[in-house]
Amino acid sequence: MHQQNAIVIGSGVAGLAVAIRLASQGYQVSVYEKNLFPGGKLHSFEKDGFHFDAGPSLFTQPQNIVDLFADAGERLEEYLTWEPVPLSCRYFFENGKQLDAFTDAGKLAEEMHHQLGEDAATVISYLNQSEKLYEHVGKVFLNHSLHKKNTWLHPRVTKALSTVQYPHLFSTLHKYNATRFRTPEAVQFFDRFATYNGSDPYQAPAMLSLIPHLEINEGTFYPHGGMVSITEALYKLAQKKGVQFHFNQPIERILYHESKVRGVVVGSENIPASIVVSNADVYFTYKHLLKDDTLAAKVLRQERSSSAVIFYWGMRKSFPRLHLHNLFFGKNYEQEFDHIFKKGSVTDDPTIYINITSKLEVAMAPAGKENWFVMINVPANNGQDWHRLKTELREAVIQKLSRMLAEDIAPQIETELTLDPVSIEAQSASFMGSLYGTSSNSKMAAFMRQANESKQVKGLYFCGGSVHPGGGIPLCLKSAAIVSDLVKAAKQSNH
C-alpha cells in the first residue's frame, strides 16, 4: 500500500508538531515555509553580540512537548532540556510596591500578604478555583475539538459544566477579580492574565481565571538555549521522522475538487496530497490560499487580538533589581485597554514587560551586559502611523523605566531593533499583526474560533494560534494534537 502524502503549510510551532505527529502516523509529510527558517514567531537573532529570542518568551506546560516526544517514540532529553523558574515574574507598581510572583501558591499568597496586604487565604482559594476550572473545564475545551458532537456527548463534559459557575461565563475577568480581592494591586495582577491571549480583562469572561493555574500552580520553565531551542528540538525531531522541509517556498493555493482536498500549488507546480494542514493565519488561508472571500470575511467579524511593539535592547550594564521576567504596570489599566481595543491607539502610560534571558544564561549577552526584550501591548494594525507611535512609545517607556528603576536607562542602550504590528504581519503573516488571531473578549469567543477541520473541504485541517484552542505555545501544541487525532479518526472511519 502506498504511503499517503500530507502537506503542512507553515512551520510555526504547531506546524512542526503536526508534521511530527502525522509522520508518526505513517504519512509522508512535506512542510512548505515562506521564510528561510522554521519556527514562525518562535525564532531568534543575534545583534552586536547580544542574542535575542524574537517572539514568545514564556514557557509553561512543558508536558505538551513531553507528550509529543513520547508519541514520536524519541528521547526528549537528547533534543531539549529545561529548568523550573521558581519566580514566574517580578512586578513593579507605580506606587512603589513590588511583588515577586512565585510559582508556588503558598509562597505567592505569603508574598501578596506581605507586599500588598492581601489576604493569603483568599489568594490560595483563588488559585485552587483556577486549578479546578482548568482540570474540569480547560482540559476538555483545550484538548478536544469543540466542533465535534462526540466531544459534547462525553461524560466529562457534564462534569465540566457542573464546575462552571455563573460568574465564569457572565462576569468579566476584572469584575470577578474585583469581587475576590480587596487590594487594587492584586486585582491588577490577576487581570493581567487576560493579555496571555491578547484579550481585555474588562471585556473577557472570568473563565480566563484558569490561566494563572498554568503559570503559578503548574510552574514556569526556562528552556536551555532560550525559547528558540524549542523550535530547534521540534525541527530536528521532524527531520528524524523523515519530514521534508521546503524553505522560501510560499504556497500559492490549496487545491480541492468535489469538496475534497487534492494538494497545493507551489511555484506554479501542483503537488498532490490527501491531507493538507494549514498552520498559516486562518484569514490568509481563506483569503489567499482558498480564494474564499466569504469565509475570510466571516473570520473578520470577530475582533482581532492585541499586537505588540517590541524593543530589543542590548544594555551596557546589568540591572540587579530585574529578573528573567519583569512587568512594570501602568497606573490606569482600564484606560490602557480602552486605548487598545476601543480607540485603536496607545496610552501614554503603558504596561511594560521585560524579558532578560541573560539572567539565566550569561552567554546570551556580552560579559556584564544584558539582552532586554521589551514588549508593550498595542492594537492590531489598522493603518495607524506606527512610525510616530513607536517614537512616542519609546520615549514613554524610557521615561517610565528610568523613573521606576531610579536611573536614566537611555544612555545604557547600546544596540537596538524594533518590531511592530506591520513587521509582525510581514514576518509571520498574522493578519493585522494580531498575535493571537482573534481576541477572547466575548463569552462566545472560544466557540467562534475556527475549528481544526474544514467543514467545506474534506482532508483540510487548521492548526496554530489563529484557530482553536488559541494562541501561545501550549495551545499551538494542543491544536497540533487535536488535528492529529482528527486525521486518525477520519482514517479509521474510512476503513
pLDDT attached to residue 41? 93
What is the grid cell recorded at 233? 528540538
pLDDT attached to residue 148? 67
CATH of domain 303-431: 3.30.519
Confidence of residue 163 (pLDDT cuts 50, 70, 90): low
**pLDDT higher than 50, residue 1:** no
Architecture of domain 1-42+227-302+449-495: 3-Layer(bba) Sandwich (3.50)
pLDDT attached to residue 467? 93
In the chain, where the domains are located: 1-42+227-302+449-495, 104-216, 303-431
pLDDT in tens, 186-231: 999 999 999 998 999 999 989 899 999 999 999 999 999 999 999 9
d(CA 331, CA 343) in angstroms, rounded, equals 18
List strand residue ranges (DSSP E) for 127-284, in order: 220-223, 244-246, 251-257, 260-266, 269-272, 275-278
Percent of the chain at pLDDT above 70? 93
Confidence of residue 303 (pLDDT cuts 50, 70, 90): confident
Sheet holding 98-102, edge to edge: 98-102, 87-92, 325-328, 352-355, 370-378, 307-315, 413-419
pLDDT attached to residue 448? 72
Partnered with residue 84 across adjacent β-strands are 221
SS3 416: strand
Partnered with residue 255 across adjacent β-strands are 263
**pLDDT higher than 50, residue 137:** yes
Nearest Cα residue to 479 out of 278, 229, 219, 247: 278
Nearest Cα residue to 352 out of 334, 333, 380, 371: 333
Nearest Cα residue to 459 out of 494, 430, 426: 494
| Mean pLDDT, range 277-300, rounded to an integer | 94
User: pLDDT averaged over the chain?
Assistant: 93
**pLDDT higher than 90, residue 323:** yes
Alpha carbon of 430 to those of 126, 341, 434: distances in Å? 34, 18, 6
Same fold, 1-42+227-302+449-495 and 303-431: no
